[in-house]
Structure 1
Amino acid sequence: MYQLVIGAIAVVIFAALTLLLWLGGHQWTDAKLRAELIATQQQEQQIGGALTLYRQENVGSSIGADAALLAQLHSGGYLRDVPPGAWFVSSDGKRIGKPLDGQTPDSCAKMNALAGAGAVCPPCDSDADKSVPICQQP
């Protein structure tokens, strides 16, 4: 009898957890996407601020591109650490970003919707949608 009661309790707990995951799984996925979006935006702001300081202190000097630029900012003391990932920086410094790990067009569109930019996922080389925070690498 004791084993039957323990088995029934285990089945009820398992069913409740399964139901919780089934009904609330999209909220956890959205929270994970939102956290990744916020982390990427904060890292973009750090790189943008370091680039602005570098340009103000080194007027007229040439800067590298992408990884070389980040290494230059780090070695110059403008960035404490280079944020992880394959970052890209446009030649004018106005477009800073990185391809997200495991990104699909659907997750890209969902992250843009969470950021308030509409549920679109343009290619990163598109000049038309520079205001969209997340773009799709070709």
Structure 2
Amino acid sequence: MFQLIVATVAIVLCSVLAIGAIWYGGEAFAEASSRAKLVGIEMTAQQIDAAIQLYYQDKLHWPTERDDALVEVLVSGNYLMPLRDEGWKISTDELYRPVQTGQCAIINEAAGFGAVCPRCDDEAQKGLPGCSTPD
């Protein structure tokens, strides 16, 4: 009988610890997910930029394609591995991937700028990784 009581108390204590870890650790898990999304977008942007540089070194001219068409040229020329996410906006002076406004705020918060998503034409906010375009 004593062993049954000890086993029951041990199960209750383990359950309380598990619930506490989930309750208080949930915010840390969400923050880690936001940081992972930010890092993933930044790494993909760096890979695209490096692939464009390699293309230039081989062809001695910049690619004329834009956006997803440029990604296809880079992939077919073996300058870039196929991307997991589509919708990249690539031109001579821009390289970005549009995200939802909520994701924009999460990405900026993960980068340490607070949960804001300013307009892209706001000169004071140019250093933020995420911004919103006027509709």
Task: Give the TM-score band, short-chain normalised.
Answer: 0.7 to 0.9
Offset of 1:112 from its aligned partner?
Answer: 0.7
Structure whose residues are more often helix by fraction: 2
Q: Which residue of 2 aligns with 1:13?
A: 14
Q: Which moved more, 1:24-33 or 1:51-60?
A: 51-60
Are the counterparts in 2 of residues 66 and 88 from structure 1 also a CA contact under 8 Å? yes
Report the Cα distance in structure 2 between the residues aligned to 1:118 and 1:70, rounded to whole angstroms.
32
Are the counterparts in 2 of residues 108 and 120 from structure 1 also a CA contact under 8 Å? yes
Offset of 1:10 from its aligned partner?
Answer: 0.9
Q: Which residue of 1 aligns with 2:69?
A: 68
Q: Which residue of 1 aligns with 2:61?
A: 59
Q: Which residue of 1 aligns with 2:84?
A: 84
- The alignment yields a C-alpha RMSD, in angstroms, of 2.7
Q: Which residue of 1 aligns with 2:121?
A: 127
Q: Which moved more, 1:3-12 or 1:66-75?
A: 3-12
Uncovered stretches (5+) of structure 1, i.e. residues with no partner: none
TM-score, reference length from structure 1: 0.75
Shift of the 82–136 alpha-carbon distance from structure 1 to 2, 3 Å rule, reads farther
Are the counterparts in 1 of residues 55 and 62 from structure 2 also a CA contact under 8 Å? no
Uncovered stretches (5+) of structure 2, i.e. residues with no partner: none
Q: Which of these two proteins has the greater Rg computed from alpha carbons?
A: 2
Offset of 1:134 from its aligned partner?
Answer: 3.0
- Report percent identity of matched pairs: 32
Offset of 1:84 from its aligned partner?
Answer: 0.5
Give the SS at the match of 1:70.
helix
Alignment of structure 1 residues 87-126 onto 2, 5 Å: 87-99=87-99, 105=102, 107-122=103-118, 126=120
Offset of 1:115 from its aligned partner?
Answer: 1.3
Shift of the 14–61 alpha-carbon distance from structure 1 to 2, 3 Å rule, reads closer
Offset of 1:131 from its aligned partner?
Answer: 3.9
